[in-house]
Amino acid sequence: MISKDQIQDLLLRTALLVAFSCLLAVIALAVHPGRIPWIGDWAHHVESMALKEGIPLVGTPEMRRIAEAGSHLILDARPLADYDAGHIPGAVPLPYDDLDAHYEQVRLMLVPAQPVVAYCSGGACDDSLLLCVHLRKQGFTNVILYAEGWAGWEDAP
């Protein structure tokens, strides 16, 4: 049976261990060449990564126009189960988590200048961004990203 003193001692040592770790972390952060800010702009991470990659972004009103006009091939980068549960009208499934199995099938619909727009769940989901990067590496130049994704599509009035 552990006494109250021993529990206090254990908790004190645990707190000391964690505090020492945090102190080392602060020192390391100050001298690390790849240091990061204490608080990052993760709310717009996907958008900023897209801009860094040179991939144009499209908002929900423009996405609605694209879907209605049928001017772009719309690619759904979410898992197939999510696509089956609901998707943007006219979208073709190309799940990024199983790209090898589905890519060849979709590639037949693509020509290099084909306008393509990709989306996934929205929010923190970056599968559509990774898909856009992959498509550009494959030589498809007219690729845009709908970063608000399915969540943005559903939430829009």
Partner 1 sequence: MGGCAVNWKNRIILLFRIVLGIVFLCAAVPKIISPYGFAEAVYRYQAAPYFMVNITAIFLPWVELVSGLCLLFSKTFRAASSLVVLGLMIFFTALVSVTVFRGIDISCGCFSVNPDAASIGWKKIAENTLMTVMAVFVFLDALKPPFTAHSAR
- Classify each residue of 13-45 as buried b or exposed e, where b means 16 or more C-beta atoms within 10 Å of its C-beta: eeeeeeeeeeeeeeeeeeeeeeeeeeeeeeeee
Q: Which helix (H) or strand (E) holds 116?
A: strand 116-119
17 is a site residue for partner 1 (CB under 8 A): yes
* Cα separation, 53 vs 132, whole angstroms: 9
Q: Which of 50, 119, 126, 143 binds partner 1 (CB under 8 A)?
A: 126
Contact with partner 1 (CB under 8 A): which of 14, 48, 138, 141? Answer: 14
Counting contacts by CB under 8 A, is residue 10 touching partner 1?
yes
Among 9, 84, 154, 155, binds partner 1 (CB under 8 A): 9
**How far is the C-alpha of 51 from the C-alpha of 2, rounded, in Å?**
58
Among 48, 55, 106, 123, binds partner 1 (CB under 8 A): 123
Please work out, in degrees rounded to the nearest 5, the angle formed at the alpha carbon of residue 51 by the alpha carbons of 49 and 54: 115
Contacts of 93 (CB under 8 A, 6+ apart): 75, 76, 78, 80, 83, 87, 102
Provide, rounded to whole angstroms, the least separation between the CB of residue 103 and partner 1: 15
Q: Is 39 in the site for partner 1 (CB under 8 A)?
A: yes
Q: How many residues comprise the chain?
A: 157
- Tell me the closest approach of the beta carbon of residue 43 to partner 1, in angstroms: 5
Judged by CB under 8 A, does residue 20 bind partner 1? yes
Which one, 64 or 134, has the nearer CB to partner 1? 134
Q: Is residue 2 near partner 1 by the rule CB under 8 A?
A: yes
Backbone angles phi, psi at 145, to 5 degrees: -120, 130
Q: Which residues bind partner 1 (CB under 8 A)?
A: 2, 6, 9-10, 13-14, 16-18, 20-22, 24-26, 28-29, 32, 34-43, 45, 79, 81-82, 97, 123-127, 130
